[in-house]
Structure 1
């Protein structure tokens, strides 16, 4: 498929617009799709000398996700001058005459989104440890940013954030009901009955893990990416989700989910929490609730994948291991509520 035929990216329409917002764009533009599917589409655009990234909503889902473009663009633009590495943003286009949907253009950042332990293993345990330490430090840096100071005071509704999260993921779980999950019912009941007061409001990434960070050749975070879930709320949800993603990789392994944290040298769960605590002034004593909520959230996501697998809607190996992983994930969530500190 030629560059001019990429679905969702009409270079003939894009090129004139791009030259009005980015200085020095060269002659013929070429492009490739580097992330597609049901999530937002990501293209690498080049004039042969420089490269940019274009992000737009998935094809056919414009109304439901068009707002994501402005949100992603806004949060990355707001973080430009902070300690959080993000791509330089160039322009947001809300004129649907150009590509048929809102989109934005940002810097192309060189880096690797490490996803699997087999990708980290050749680096050795010392480099892997450094990568995981830097990952935690970036998360703490994000959570230290004052939303008001970077112009994000109205970026979300932090009041009642945790209660809405509990309700949201119950709804998600119910939408993909394929079997009875008594542990899910019990975990939801306990979460709903023990919603704590939120910790100090901060910027929540919403899906923070190693493969949403581009790591450079010196093992430093070059850019945090994939901000489509970002909002204002309780940042401890990010920390708990990072930990539960780590548990999930150990439960499932293989190609079905990211298991980078299983690589020799990667910080353990306790080391992640200890390092975050030294870089943050947030109180982690009530983290059991957050771990329970993160377990419930990921269980709901996995159950949705399992449901689609049963319907024959998933393609590729590894999906058969998703359904069984839901049970220990829910059990770990219940344990966290009972036993964590």
Structure 2
């Protein structure tokens, strides 16, 4: 853990004052913090007083798409899921007052685990353990989608009816808000997805960004200890989560890619195996997952373009952002080809 200097976006003095007011006695020593690298969206910090550890989450600096960086939603869903089979960290507090550190934020308990992101990290544990880790992630998704929203106080967490139409509009608006260059094919992909919109099955709590490096995995037992990054969660079509997981299972990213390359690790289940595991555990009809996978490529392209836009404005923190923009054309092409293949089948 680094020293007492403030990391970008987090004033430790103001944070300490707020914690002392809201949770007297929680902090017992001088706070130290460091930015947790790896995230490309919200900023995440590990914070300690020398005796206890916590995690602080806040939106990115500068250009912010409010609906994509909602700390309140993330805090609410994690709190609601705490007593379910879904592994999540415990929450400490939510602060919606921008005056404290310059943006809304929340504090949660620190969970020790590994967010496997790259193929070489999984290669170190071998193919058998890699397979178990990824299939465990699928099982955790099945557990999430089995939670009844009304039983955990999330009956009003979203509007399932018309979910996919709203998702397409929302991501189209986020593309427009971050558009700073020509992106061949991306409008074609958006329209093709709209033209082939599927009929949603039963709604569920949707994570919105479900992938391996948004989970913490036990260092010794390979169990999923916590699912993280819930800011895009809502009630909606659960196959959007599956489609994203499938996309990350079939992508072939270069070794130096700034986005996850875990699927290239020996032992990583194929996309077909991921789909079969989810179908067996959930009992849901997954025959239309190709559309959802193409939609996942579109969403990742929009996210990458938004990050590229913030990079061009000098508003990103960390390494690797200079390469994000170069990924977008390939994501668009994979989205188009995936959608064509699903329609041909």
TM over 0.5: yes
Q: Which residue of 1 aligns with 2:242?
A: 239
Partners of 2:58 and 2:103 within 8 A in 1: yes
Distance across 2 between alignment mates of 1:141 and 1:213: 14
What TM-score results when the alignment is normalised by the length of structure 1? Answer: 0.87
CA positional deviation for 1:220: 0.7
| Residues 25 and 330 of structure 1, relative CA distance in 2, 3 Å threshold | closer
1:149 aligns with 2:151: yes
- Unaligned 5+ segments in structure 2 are none
| Residues 188 and 10 of structure 1, relative CA distance in 2, 3 Å threshold | closer
Partners of 2:159 and 2:235 within 8 A in 1: yes
Distance across 2 between alignment mates of 1:177 and 1:132: 36
CA positional deviation for 1:99: 2.6
The worse-fitting range, judged by mean Cα deviation, of 135-144 and 163-172 is 163-172
Distance across 1 between alignment mates of 2:254 and 2:27: 45
Distance across 2 between alignment mates of 1:64 and 1:236: 24
CA positional deviation for 1:322: 1.7
1:51-130 alignment to 2 at 5 Å? 51-60=53-62, 64=66, 68-130=70-132
* Offset from partner CA, 1:221-248 (integer Å, 9 cap, x none): 1111111111111110010011112233
Distance across 2 between alignment mates of 1:288 and 1:186: 17
The worse-fitting range, judged by mean Cα deviation, of 47-56 and 114-123 is 47-56
Distance across 1 between alignment mates of 2:26 and 2:309: 49
| Residues 57 and 251 of structure 1, relative CA distance in 2, 3 Å threshold | closer
1:92-241 alignment to 2 at 5 Å? 92-174=94-176, 175-176=178-179, 178-179=181-182, 181-182=184-185, 184-217=186-219, 218-241=221-244
The worse-fitting range, judged by mean Cα deviation, of 238-247 and 316-325 is 316-325
Distance across 1 between alignment mates of 2:30 and 2:302: 45
1:254 aligns with 2:252: no
Q: SS of the counterpart of 2:124? A: helix
Partners of 1:178 and 1:307 within 8 A in 2: no
1:9-48 alignment to 2 at 5 Å? 9-19=10-20, 20-21=22-23, 23-35=25-37, 39-48=41-50
- Unaligned 5+ segments in structure 1 are none
| Residues 71 and 335 of structure 1, relative CA distance in 2, 3 Å threshold | same
| Residues 311 and 70 of structure 1, relative CA distance in 2, 3 Å threshold | closer
1:338 aligns with 2:337: no
CA positional deviation for 1:282: 1.5
Matched residue count: 338
The worse-fitting range, judged by mean Cα deviation, of 79-88 and 97-106 is 97-106
Q: SS of the counterpart of 2:46? A: strand
What TM-score results when the alignment is normalised by the length of structure 2? Answer: 0.86
Partners of 1:85 and 1:221 within 8 A in 2: yes
| Residues 146 and 29 of structure 1, relative CA distance in 2, 3 Å threshold | same
| Residues 148 and 312 of structure 1, relative CA distance in 2, 3 Å threshold | closer
| Residues 252 and 163 of structure 1, relative CA distance in 2, 3 Å threshold | farther
Q: Which residue of 2 aligns with 1:329?
A: 334
Report the RMSD for the aligned CA atoms in angstroms.
Answer: 3.0
